[in-house]
């Protein structure tokens, strides 16, 4: 993940108010909590999410609006640097 993508992701996390509340929980529990928070707050950062996806996949904003969410989630699992980003959100 490059600096530009990190800045976009930081803005998304901030707008959505994403926080990992229990850093001691299992990876599955933390993942489930993140997915729930993202799903319930995505509308707060809709434009930023499209911009992030557009940049990450090197596609237009319009194309980003139509990306399959399951496909995107699976791709995000493989993005270098993304896993290390979220420990900074632990509260």
Give pLDDT, residue 51. Answer: 96
> pTM of the entire structure?
0.78
pLDDT tens by residue, the chain, 91 residues: 889 988 999 999 999 999 888 878 888 888 888 889 999 999 999 999 999 999 999 999 999 999 999 999 888 888 776 666 655 554 4
Q: 20 pairs with which residues across the strands? A: 90
Classify 20 as helix, strand or coil.
strand
Give pLDDT, residue 87. Answer: 56
CA–CA separation, 48 vs 26, rounded Å? 29
Q: Render 45-90 in DSSP notation, one character per residue.
A: GHHHHHHHHHHHHT--HHHHTT--HHHHHHHHTT-TTHHHHGGGGB
Give pLDDT, residue 29. Answer: 87
Q: 90 pairs with which residues across the strands? A: 20
């Amino acid at each position: 993940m490059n600096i530009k993508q990190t800045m976009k992701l930081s803005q998304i996390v901030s707008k959505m108010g994403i926080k990992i509340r229990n850093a001691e929980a299992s990876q599955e529990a933390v993942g489930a909590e993140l997915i729930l928070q993202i799903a319930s707050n995505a509308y707060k950062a809709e434009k930023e999410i499209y911009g992030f996806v557009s940049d990450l996949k090197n596609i237009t904003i319009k194309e980003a609006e139509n990306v399959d969410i399951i496909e995107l989630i699976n791709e995000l699992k493989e993005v270098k640097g993304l896993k290390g980003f979220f420990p900074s959100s632990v509260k």
